[in-house]
Each structure stands twice: as C-alpha cells, then as structure tokens.
A and B are shown apart, each in its own frame.
Chain A
Amino acid sequence: MNKKITCIECPKGCVLSVDLQNDEIMSIGGNECPKGQEYALSEIKNPLRIFTSSVLIQGSSLKMIPVRTDKPIPKHKLFAAMEEVKRMRFCRPVNAGDVIAENFLGLDVNLVATRNSLG
C-alpha cells in the first residue's frame, strides 16, 4: 500500500510517498531533506506535534504567558495538554525558557514559557 503524507517540518511541504506492507515501512520517497524521512516514520508510527498554548498570569502587565513543549508530544495528547494548562496559573515572574512543568503529562517533555512576564 502506498500512503501520501505532506511533510510539515518546514514551509516547503514536500509530499512524501510511503510504501507500506502489513504496516511495515518498505520505503519513503519524495522528501527533499533528511527531516522528511524522520517525519514520515513518526507520522506512520506515532504522529507528534509541538504543543503550544497560553497560561494565565497574575502580577504582570501581561494577562497570559505563552508556553510550549520543548519536544513534540503525541498528537492524541493535545487535548489532555490543553486541559492541563487551563488549570495552571502563574503567580510569580517568569522568563522565556523557564521550565513550567517537568515531565509534562508524564510524556518525558518539559513545558516551558516562551515569553518574559516583565517585558
């Protein structure tokens, strides 16, 4: 079976062609760089996405601090991640790069702030 996947690693959007036999990947083509190979592999076995959202903060001129996972998480965990960040509140200053939650959702990724709360 041949499966077409659009690579989302960069804005180019290569159309990858993946040959599958009994769920085993036989070959991957159509990628213009090595990232496409990795992407196709993960997209077949366990699709991953970087999670981003915003968390409420108090005591800052900002109302929200944007956050991200430092590594991609399984796509089917995006909603669980949303529920988790909706429960969060920052009550102290944060800096871009600060780890907000270690081993976020037990997924072996960290949730990090992406903006400074004090401008």
Chain B
Amino acid sequence: MLNRGLVIVGGGPAGMAAAIAAYEHGAGDILLIERDQYLGGILNQCVHAGFGLNYFKEILTGPEYADRFIKKIKNIRQIEISMRSLVVNLSKDKVLTFLKPGSLNQVQAKALIMATGCREKTREMIHIPGTRPAGIFSAGLAQKLINIEGLLPGKKVVIVGSGDIGLIMARRFFLEGAEVKAVIEIQPKSQGLIRNQVQCIEDFAIPFFCSHKIQRIYGNKRVEKVSVVRVDENFNVVAGSEFDIECDTVLVSAGLIPENELIEMAGVAVDKKTNCPVSQGLNKTLVPGLFVCGNSFKVYDLVDSVSRDSVIAGQLAAEYLKGLK
C-alpha cells in the first residue's frame, strides 16, 4: 500500500486549485487522482468564453482556464498525478482503493481533499412521463458529444430547464445549424445567469417558455414530439393550455447533484436533500482531515468562485497536516 500525506480526488478546477494551494502552504507529499486521461474536468468541454473574469481578470474559455492550472501543477514535483485512475472505495481510516488500467491500487492518506464535482439531474429525476426513445440527453452530455466528440446529437431540439448548461447548449445547437424549438422552464423566470439568457437565448430569438413544463415525451425509436403545458404559481397544470412541439431531441438541464458517494462510504454525513456533505464551515466535513471542495461541496455558478474557495481547502489540509506532526 502507498502512503501519502495528502490525497486529492479529482483533477478538475477544484482539485487542481486545492493541490497547488496545499503545496504552497507547505504540504509536500501530494497525490492527485483523476479518472480521465486529461486534467481539467468539465472545463475541457466548456469551449465557450466567459470564465476567469474574477480570478484572472480576463475572459477565458474553459480549456484556457484549465490550462492555467495544468501548466502550474505539472511544474510542481511534489504533486504526483495519477491519471485514468478511478477511486472505487474510501475507508473510514482514509484508505483509498483505485483502479488504473491493469492494476488495483491502495493508498493510505493522512489528509484527503475530495473534489469530485457533480452529476447532472436526469429525465427520471424531474419526472417526465412518456416513452423512452433515443434522443434524450442531459445538456452536459450533449455538450461533450458536440465539443469533444464532434457529433451533433440532434436536429430539432427542445431543452427542458434553463440552467446555464442548457442555455449554453441552446446557443451551441443553434450555431451548429440545428433548430432549437424551445427552452421550457417550469419556474416563472430563467434559472441561469442573466448574461446567458441574453447571449444564448435573446441573441438568437430562441423561443423561451417560463412557467411551462413538458408533460409527455412521445416517440417509438426516436423522440418524435413533446407535449408542453403551462403551469400556475403552484406548478399545477393550467387546463387547456397544452400544445405539442415536434422534435427529435430533448435536452435536460435541470440542475446538478454533488457526487459524494465515496465520502458516504467512509461514513461522512451527507445531506440527503442536497447531496452536499454536512459541514460546519467551508470545505469541512464532520471528519477531521477530510475536506471537500468545489461542486462536490456545494454547487457553484462560477468556476472562478470554485478556484477561490478550493484554495482554502488546500490551505486547511496543509494546516491539518502540520498539526499532526
């Protein structure tokens, strides 16, 4: 079994900022574990601009923002990076088990920072009835297909929910030549940042329906249409307001859920409603020496804020390690 002072799980913006900060605050024996073959996490598929204005005082795309941290972290010898490494177990005494192509590994950590990010809510979680044809994607998956894989997953798109990823994808599909038929939001107003409402929806005159919901998805092999209905202030269906939209694709952009199964395995308390760790302060859990940062601690609107707060996680871990000596 390996032994490390500090182990960080996740090589996205949170994990990288925390690792660098921990090193800068005196931690030396650091292992960062990332399941993908590239560092940067979700930033790599966020090819649009708008990141970094707070943290770097300039406007960057996602990959450029990630690159600032990647360049820095690769120059720090005291941070070992294990790529294509998937953590499958975390024990109460901070032993991590991870799979790497061809091997099963274990590492004993003195301190741990979990920076595992979020998953997207699915169609099932927002309860849309109907058939189960091809053509239903979470917005982030569609973003990956277009920006990373170079595939356009549909030609006539309806987007459910107006979270930022949904708005960004409305614009991306539109620019890629697809027909964006509608964005459907159950709340009375858009859930994303105002500027995304402006530059993704209004710029292209994409139909936007607040206080509406999809009541059924139709289609046998592929999505054929959705039935949309207006809701009142109590989210009850307004009878007689139904209409159909013909489409081949439904994107779900209904929010994110922190991915915290690993800390739950280690017996760390997680709030059942939000899936965030129960905490008595930023990045802290109820277990000493086990920190959580970035979107797995709480869902952030801006990566700039993730970087800012994850620096504090690195600092806390470094201080914890000093206290052990």
Contacts and interface: CB of A to CB of B under 8 A. Distances in A.
Nearest to A113: B63
A66 B193 contact: no
B324 interface: no
A64 B147 contact: yes
Contacts of B198: 6, 8, 13
A96 B47 CA distance: 12
A42 to B, nearest CB: 13
Nearest to A5: B198
Contacts of A61: 37
Interface in B12-52: 37-38, 44, 47-50
B246 interface: no
A75 B53 CA distance: 21
A8 B199 contact: yes
Nearest to B195: A8
A68 B53 contact: no
A74 B242 CA distance: 39
Contacts of B176: 82
A53 interface: yes
Nearest to A13: B194
Interface in B194-228: 194-195, 197-199, 203
Contacts, number: 80
Contacts of B61: 52, 66, 68, 114
A106 interface: no
A115 B147 contact: no
A82 B47 contact: no
Interface string B186-198: 0000000111011
A75 B48 CA distance: 15
A52 B48 CA distance: 6
A119 interface: yes
A96 B64 contact: yes
Interface residues of A, number: 29
A116 interface: yes
B59 interface: yes
B141 interface: no
Contacts of A115: 44, 63-64, 67
Nearest to A57: B150
A56 interface: yes
Contacts of A8: 195, 198-199
Contacts of B194: 6, 13
A11 interface: yes
Contacts of A96: 63-64, 67
A67 B64 CA distance: 10
Nearest to B71: A96
A50 interface: yes
B301 interface: yes
Interface in A49-102: 49-50, 52-54, 56, 61-64, 66-68, 75, 78-79, 82, 96
A1 interface: no
B149 interface: yes
B76 interface: no
B47 A66 contact: yes
A50 B49 contact: yes
Interface in B215-250: none
B37 A119 contact: yes
29 contacts: A6-B195, A7-B195, A8-B198, A8-B199, A10-B53, A10-B195, A11-B193, A11-B195, A11-B301, A13-B194, A49-B199, A52-B49, A54-B146, A54-B148, A56-B150, A61-B37, A62-B148, A63-B149, A63-B150, A64-B148, A66-B61, A66-B63, A67-B47, A68-B47, A68-B61, A78-B175, A82-B175, A114-B64, A115-B64
Given A64-B150, A78-B175, A114-B61, 6 more contacts: A9-B53, A11-B301, A56-B150, A62-B148, A114-B63, A119-B38
Interface of A: 6-11, 13, 49-50, 52-54, 56, 61-64, 66-68, 75, 78-79, 82, 96, 114-116, 119
